[in-house]
Amino acid sequence: MSGNSARTTAGVWQIRLGSLLIPLAHAAGQNLVTVLGLRFMTDSLAISAGAAGAIFAFVKIYDGFADPAVGAWSDRAKTPWGRRLPFLLAGGIAMPLGLALLFGAPSFGSIVLAQVFVTLALVIHATGYTLLTIPGFAMLVESSSDPRERTRLMAWRTYGNAIGTMLGSTLPAWLLAMTGPTRGGHLLLAAVVGGVVLLATVLALRLLRHAPRTVAPERADAAKVHPIRALGRQVMLAWDNVPFRTLAIAHVFLLFGTAIGSASLAFYTRVGLEQADTVLGTYFMLATVAMLVSMTGWVWLSNRIGKKRAYIAAMAIYCVVQLSWLLAGPGEPMALIGLRGALSGFSGAGMILCAYSLLSDAVRYDYVTSGQRREGAFAGFTTLFDKLSSAAALAVMGGFLAAMGYVPSASGMAAQQGEGARMAILLCVSVFPAVSMVAAIAAMAFYKLDAASVEAAERQGQA
């Protein structure tokens, strides 16, 4: 008995650590591109802000529509490793490759060729991100039927996301401060972060190889259904899940706000605050520390007042933090910048934990009420909405900066910017994210599912 208990405990901790490493990997690779990708394209490759935003939007849209397909594919996959692990391995290889191509882009002597090359690099990177995130989230939902254990796993996932965020934002900014914003400096940070992504993925595969797995039920008519028609059917089924639909709408607004807030911060610290990249790195370091330290508190609070209320509270805090940038300017004390970073990380912990914990409840509710195993498809739809909102955010930001006169550069440093461009950067880092959070909070007013309802459905299904 004691031996079985020890093995079971070991299995639980392996799943928790694996649940940490997968988001660590994809958060590191994704944050590097989110924070520095747009600025690298405008200030190192001389691509206009409008064109750079359009490229990001195109890639995000491609990746978004690939998400449900990957999710459904992983739901149906049959391999000796199970349904999910081969996808994770492929993603752990593709993301570093995309990073190396993007930040190691050669000098073509042609803006058009540079645009084509970085688009290809971003497509490879985005595909890797999808291959890591979709099966990773689906495995987490499959691993436990206990809502409280899934909340714990979401906390571990959020820990991993926080560490990955620091490795993909703080570490690269500090490296650039040491090397200077050169082509070689950008390639170095891509190599370092890419190595982190690959190593974390390989370790996660070892930890999760014996994790609980579910098997898709055999369907005699599966081969007769056209893939596009099958995907359309899955979309309709997911949209009929009212709790999931409500969360998805709120998530779109939340991701729009956080995407534009993160991408604009790299511009704002350099142009608006007139600070070196060390300040940007320190900001994200403090945000990550606050995220890690506050996670236990958010788990306690979500259990105490409910996940929905905790989620709304986290979004409200983030809204206030972003609006506070309206009061900042050149010469802003580092203490105030650091305080904003800490509060941003504190609110980010609550938003990530509650968002995905609520989503796991909605997906589990779908299973216990329908009997269908669609975890991968729901994970795909979740990231589809994420990508579309991020695409809209980067397209809006790039187009807005271009319209307000942002001047691109090939030197690695920002060109001298006029008042219009400086005002556009300020609005992108403050007002746009705040308005998005208010819209997300309004959407959450319509969310009705709670943990008790999921548990009741579980008991009814077992009866």
**Residues of the chain below pLDDT 70:** 1-10, 67-68, 71-72, 74-77, 79-80, 82-83, 138, 140-151, 210-239, 365-380, 382-383, 411-412, 414, 450-463
How is 55-108 classified by DSSP, letter by letter? HHHHHHHHHHHHHHHHHHHHHH---TT-SSHHHHHHHHHHHHHHHHHHHT----
According to the model, what pLDDT value does residue 211 have?
64
Which ranges of 412-462 would DSSP assign to H, the alpha helix? 419-429, 431-444, 451-462
According to the model, what pLDDT value does residue 428 have?
95
Q: 380 and 68 in contact (C-beta within 8 Å)?
A: yes
Token pair, residue 296, equals: 């236990």
According to the model, what pLDDT value does residue 269 have?
92
According to the model, what pLDDT value does residue 264 have?
92
**pTM score, whole prediction:** 0.74
Q: 390 and 244 in contact (C-beta within 8 Å)?
A: no
Q: 246 and 447 in contact (C-beta within 8 Å)?
A: yes
Q: What is the pLDDT of residues 240-274, one digit of tens each?
A: 777 888 888 898 899 899 989 988 998 999 899 99
According to the model, what pLDDT value does residue 449 have?
75
> 12-209+228-462, what's its fold?
Growth Hormone; Chain: A; (1.20.1250)
CA distance 393 to 121: 20
According to the model, what pLDDT value does residue 222 have?
46
Which ranges of 81-221 would DSSP assign to H, the alpha helix? 85-103, 111-142, 147-179, 183-208
* Residue type at 304 in one-letter notation: R
CA distance 286 to 268: 17
According to the model, what pLDDT value does residue 15 have?
80
Token pair, residue 67, equals: 């998400």
CB hemisphere CA count around 394 (13 angstroms): 28
CA–CA–CA angle 174, 179, 182 (5° rounding) = 115
According to the model, what pLDDT value does residue 414 have?
67
Give Cα separations from 412 to 173, 232, 270, 284, 285 (angstroms). Answer: 13, 45, 12, 21, 23
According to the model, what pLDDT value does residue 223 have?
45
How is 315-348 classified by DSSP, letter by letter? HHHHHHHHHGGGG--TT--HHHHHHHHHHHHHHH
